[in-house]
Structure 1
Amino acid sequence: MIDILVISISSPIKIGIYKDNILIDNIEKEGMTSDILPIIFKELLGKYEIKTITYVNTPGSYMAIKVAYVFLKTLCIVKNIKLNAASGFLFNENSPIKALGKKYFFNKNDKVIIDFLEEKSIISDFKLPKSLDKTKFSSETLPIYNLPAV
Structure 2
Amino acid sequence: MPRVSPEAELLVVGVTSPILVGLYRDGELAERFESRQKSSKALPPILHDLRYRYDLKALYYARGPGSFMAIKVTYVLLKTFAIALDIPLFAADAFAFNSGRPIKAVGRSCFVERGGEIVVEKGCDAPEGGFTLPPRLDRTLFTQESEPLYILPAV
User: Structure 1 pair 116/21, CA: closer, same or farther in 2 (3 Å)?
Assistant: same
Work out which of the residue numbers 12, 22, 27 in structure 2 matches 1:16: 22
SS of the aligned residue for 1:58 comes to coil
Quote the residue 2:37 is aligned against: 31
Q: CA deviation at 1:147?
A: 2.2
Is 1:140 aligned with 2:117?
Answer: no
Is 1:67 aligned with 2:67?
Answer: no
SS of the aligned residue for 1:127 comes to coil
Q: CA deviation at 1:117?
A: 4.5
Quote the residue 1:4 is aligned against: 10
1:33-112 equivalences under 5 Å are: 33-112=39-118
User: How far apart, in 1, do the equivalents of 2:28 and 2:123 lie?
Assistant: 34
Structure 1, gaps ≥5 residues long = none
AA partner of residue 131 (structure 1): R
CA contact (8 A) 1:53 1:81 kept: yes
CA contact (8 A) 2:20 2:32 kept: yes
CA contact (8 A) 2:108 2:124 kept: no
CA contact (8 A) 1:85 1:137 kept: yes
The 4+ residue runs of structure 1 with deviation greater than 4 A are: 121-124
AA partner of residue 2 (structure 1): A
SS of the aligned residue for 1:53 comes to strand
> Scaled by the length of structure 1, what TM-score is found?
0.92
User: How far apart, in 1, do the equivalents of 2:129 and 2:94 lie?
Assistant: 11
User: Structure 1 pair 146/20, CA: closer, same or farther in 2 (3 Å)?
Assistant: same
AA partner of residue 35 (structure 1): K
> Scaled by the length of structure 2, what TM-score is found?
0.89
AA partner of residue 20 (structure 1): D
Structure 2, gaps ≥5 residues long = 1-6
Q: CA deviation at 1:148?
A: 5.4
Quote the residue 1:113 is aligned against: 119
Quote the residue 1:130 is aligned against: 135
SS of the aligned residue for 2:136 comes to coil
Paired-residue identity, %: 40
Q: CA deviation at 1:53?
A: 0.7
Q: CA deviation at 1:122?
A: 7.3
